[in-house]
Amino acid sequence: TQALLKQTEQNHQEGCEAKEQAKDAFLKTLEEQHFKDKADFASALVSREILEQAEEKNRAYFADLQTSQQQLVSREKEAAGKTYQDLTELEERMERLRVEKGALQEKVQEQKALWQTRKKAAESAWKELQAWKKAEKAYLPIVELSKTANGELAQKDKIAFEQFVQGFYFDRILAAANLRFAEMTNGRYHLRRSEVAANKRSQSGLELEVMDYFTGKARGVKSLSGGEAFKASLSLALGLSDLIQQTAGGVEIKAMFIDEGFGALDEESREQAVRILQQLSYGDRMVGIISHVTELKESIEKKLIVKKSSTGSTVFLEV
């Protein structure tokens, strides 16, 4: 027991010394860690749970740090040989592009709106075109008939309907005129309508030509001499007079005046013309000839002579 007691006292003594040493070390540590006293240290103490959370955050931080360091090394390798570029210029350019993009988007919207408008207009025009084609299909036969009636067909003889009707009566006038024209020309000439127009651009149907039986060929009336043209004109006038009396329901032409033209005739032709006119004057029809040809005056029995002088004209009848 004494030995045990002695050992216990020794252990106690050593424990007290260790306690004092620990106390001194604790106070020294508090001083080194800038704690004022034990109470200040106690107030700084936290729970184990909080310490564990802090430790976990600490480990996570270092793990992230290691990852970041690895990424930094990788980025440095990728950036090797590349030059640094100021982002200010790029940002300004990006801003300009953004503004241009906005303007282009506005134009796109405008074009879309314009396209919609034109699309509607095109649809409306298409409908109108279909209606126009339908109307044209119905109109073409009418316009062709109109062109035919008005003598407006391309590359065709341009004979209008009214000229066609006139041509019917003109043929009758020519038939009556040729009775006198053949007598005046000793059967050489015969008036007829031209079957072929002078050209395809002008209207035709009433153009005249003369058949010359001496040559056996037809030619234009403009090729007639002055005397022959007068005979043709006189024959046409007489033929018209005959047709009017036949078709006008009892109308009679009892007077006719011929103004000049006899001076272009030779003696034989003049005698033929006078003989025809004298035949017309038989009965109650009067034929008057206005002329200054002396030979013609001698063959006319009744004359109304006009003489002019410085004081005026004098008219007297000679029977």
- 10 Å CB burial of residue 166 (0-12, 13-18, 19+) is middle
Residues 6+ apart with CB under 8 A from 167: 159, 193, 205, 206
Residue 156 has pLDDT above 90, yes or no: no
Residue 17, phi then psi, degrees to nearest 5: -65, -40
Match 């002078």 to its residue by tokens: 198
| Residue 138 binned pLDDT confidence (cut-offs 50, 70, 90) | confident
d(CA 296, CA 317): 16
d(CA 237, CA 258): 9
**In this structure, are residues 291 and 262 in contact, taking their beta carbons and an 8 Å threshold?**
yes
pLDDT in tens, 205-249: 678 899 999 999 998 888 888 778 888 888 888 888 888 888 776
Where do the structural domains in the chain lie, given as residue ranges?
1-34, 37-72, 91-150, 161-318
Looking at residue 228, what is its pLDDT?
83
Provide the CA 178 distance to its chain's centre, in angstroms.
56
Residue 309, phi then psi, degrees to nearest 5: -145, 180
Q: Which of 206, 268, 275, 262 is nearest to 233 (CA)?
A: 262
- Residue 124, amino acid: S
| E strand or H helix that includes residue 212 | strand 208-212
pLDDT in tens, 58-111: 999 999 999 999 999 998 888 888 877 778 888 888 999 999 999 999 999 999
Q: Angle 310-316-319 (CA atoms, 0-180°, nearest 5)?
A: 150
Collapsing DSSP to helix, strand or coil, 215 comes out as coil
Residue 31 has pLDDT above 60, yes or no: yes
Looking at residue 57, what is its pLDDT?
92
Residue 251 has pLDDT above 60, yes or no: yes
Confirm or reject CATH 3.90.110.10 for domain 161-318, answering yes or no.
no
Looking at residue 249, what is its pLDDT?
65
